[in-house]
A and B are shown apart, each in its own frame.
Chain A
């Protein structure tokens, strides 16, 4: 839910916005937590509005070159806002679909960290769809997290291979295995309402990388079930700065969890999305089934 849009609406300075986030934190309740910020740098790959490094998008259907995507905010404004939040110890999640947008984010985090030391910042690349191995290495060095849009593999993977970026880059999109190998803590997501909400389905996408047509897109980027479980639980809670309360079943944490009919480790990976949910427990109370 956008509270304010720094590129528009909000008429104060970046520093004022950062202190406002601090005030909002005090309004948090057991179920509504304020305190981290999302900024948006680029658009979407399927909309041809994400910012890509060369060679950019595939040509249009007539063979003409497609322009690069769009920025939602100038790099100068982004830097100013990001640095103000970093200085105030506010974690920033930044919408970056394309790899050029990731470069700008990395440069910005690098600059912010150099000016103000905050080791546990957990700044996160949101969507992170075309992030390369080199970018994940840099993210690891900078202490960043990623939230990877794994559902895209299933819903748009065929179109990415045929129409947006071509088969080579499509095969390395939403590169969970690379992020893992390069030491970046990451989650996976549905971006509901862009694709349907459902953690088991998102796990299924990351584990199998099966497109709508049934092809396996980039089999080397598939991850194991255990890793996918972490990505929808404790590592997701970590980048929201809630891992001390949520994301694992431990004494002292909130009694919020779900009961599944089968252990995802034990079923055919292609059946993960179909595991029955027996019920949910919220704050210690059984709420379903």
Chain B
């Protein structure tokens, strides 16, 4: 079962107390109904989520079912039990997003995201631009905060509009992690979780306003905000890997199921910040010639 190719993507959302994790979760839960998306959002404290009662269609103990298809679950004392419950859903969720506690260390918890039926999609860490520099040096928790940043595939710098010195916070975070750092104020948070309108949905290749790039992840103009298509037709797997590897640091997500000329199976590409995964999907039959890329708006 663990090697099933269609394992459910599992995102870890970390960050210290007050980093803005709950705000991100709220936006995920209250987004307009993402068609065909059934998302399990695992949170520490259901009370903190504060979802508008009008959106709740069912409330059963630690579980809230929402009108948009999301189900929000409080993680009990035993994470294994909660994950078993999620696995037992019928139909299964399309995606799992787990909010860690303020002192949760993603590197220590990431293994859960690769247990039976799940695959680690990415580690998103939120950092409060007004707090992060002080927090990372604070007694008791500084090492935990630094470990959170180091484990991230991408960091969302939050509350940049409230921070006294957001540029300093950004430079500090950039030096604390190999992950790209995105400004939460300028980023559709839905893109972080690969859901909603910001998800890089696979579209049939074809001319669009800018036209697909040819064999390269060149930037579009600064007005470009939506997903863009990168033409990757007629490539060998190694060439595709090189293009994925060469994607700029401003790429939040990229995804595609690509036909390569030298391997029989289709190749799935999943990019979450610096996490760049290619794997062969012999179970899929419909491939494309484009990689869909979401960048941080300029």
> Counting chain B CB atoms within 10 Å of each CB, which of A7, A68, A76, A77 scores highest?
A7
Docked pose: A77 CA to B17 CA in angstroms: 9
Chain A residues with CB under 8 Å of B141's CB are 71, 74-75
Are A71 and B44 interface neighbours, CB within 8 A?
A: no
* Chain A CB within 8 A of B103 CB: yes
Are B77 and A5 interface neighbours, CB within 8 A?
A: yes
Are A8 and B74 interface neighbours, CB within 8 A?
A: yes
A window 93-117: CB within 8 A of B: 100, 104
Docked pose: A211 CA to B63 CA in angstroms: 48
Chain A residues with CB under 8 Å of B17's CB are 74, 76-77
Interface residues of A, CB < 8 Å — how many?
20
Are B143 and A8 interface neighbours, CB within 8 A?
A: no
CB distance from A244 to the nearest CB of B (A): 33
Main secondary structure of the interface of A (DSSP, over half): loop
Docked pose: A270 CA to B282 CA in angstroms: 66
Are B44 and A74 interface neighbours, CB within 8 A?
A: no
Are B108 and A70 interface neighbours, CB within 8 A?
A: yes
Contact with B along A67-95 (1 / 0, CB 8 A): 11011111111000000000000000000
Are B103 and A72 interface neighbours, CB within 8 A?
A: yes
> Counting chain B CB atoms within 10 Å of each CB, which of A2, A67, A71, A100 scores highest?
A71
User: Out of B76, B103, B140, B144, which one reaches A8, CB within 8 Å?
Assistant: B76
Q: Quick one: given A70-B144, A75-B140, are A9 and B103 in contact (CB under 8 Å)? A: no
User: Out of B47, B62, B76, B105, which one reaches A70, CB within 8 Å?
Assistant: B105
6 more A-B residue pairs beyond the given contacts A8-B75, A8-B76, A74-B16, with a C-beta to C-beta distance below 8 A: A8-B101, A11-B45, A11-B46, A11-B48, A51-B140, A71-B144
- Interface set of A (CB-CB < 8 Å, partner B): 2, 5, 7-9, 11-12, 51, 67-68, 70-77, 100, 104
Q: Which 5 A-B pairs have the closest CB atoms?
A: A11-B47, A71-B103, A74-B102, A74-B17, A8-B44
- Interface set of B (CB-CB < 8 Å, partner A): 16-17, 44-48, 62, 74-77, 101-103, 105, 108, 140-141, 143-144, 147
27 contacts between A and B (CB under 8 A): A2-B77, A7-B101, A8-B76, A8-B77, A8-B101, A9-B62, A9-B74, A9-B76, A11-B46, A11-B74, A12-B47, A67-B143, A67-B147, A68-B143, A70-B144, A71-B103, A71-B140, A71-B144, A72-B103, A74-B16, A74-B102, A74-B141, A75-B140, A76-B17, A77-B17, A77-B102, A100-B140
